[in-house]
Amino acid sequence: MSVAADAKSVVERPPPRARGWPRSRIVGYVLIGLWIAAGGGIVAYLALAWNSELFAKYGPSYLQGLGVTLS
């Protein structure tokens, strides 16, 4: 027999794929859902608390400061 034939006889099958929803996967999906809900809540709060007068008053100063920071 050759070395190649001996190598083929030693090859093992890969382990079977995990099935179902283990506890860690469920907990992970719940935590990601909470992060998404928190992000959506922040975006909703910012949209509802928008004050155009404050933006008109302080917006140019913020943009000027951003320009100084980036330069």
- Distance, CA of 51 to CA of 26 (rounded, Å): 40
Alpha carbons within 13 A on the beta-carbon side of 69: 6
Determine which helix (DSSP H) or strand (DSSP E) holds 22, and give its type and residue range: none
pLDDT at 13: 86
> What is the pLDDT confidence band of residue 1, given thresholds at 50, 70 and 90?
low
Name the pTM for this structure. 0.56
Domain-by-domain residue ranges, the chain?
Answer: 21-70
**pLDDT, tens digit, 9 for 90 and up, residues 8-47:** 667 788 888 878 889 999 999 999 999 999 999 999 999 9
pLDDT at 20: 86
Q: Please enumerate in sequence order all residues whose Cβ is within 8 A of that of 32, keeping only pairs 6 or more positions apart, or say none.
A: none
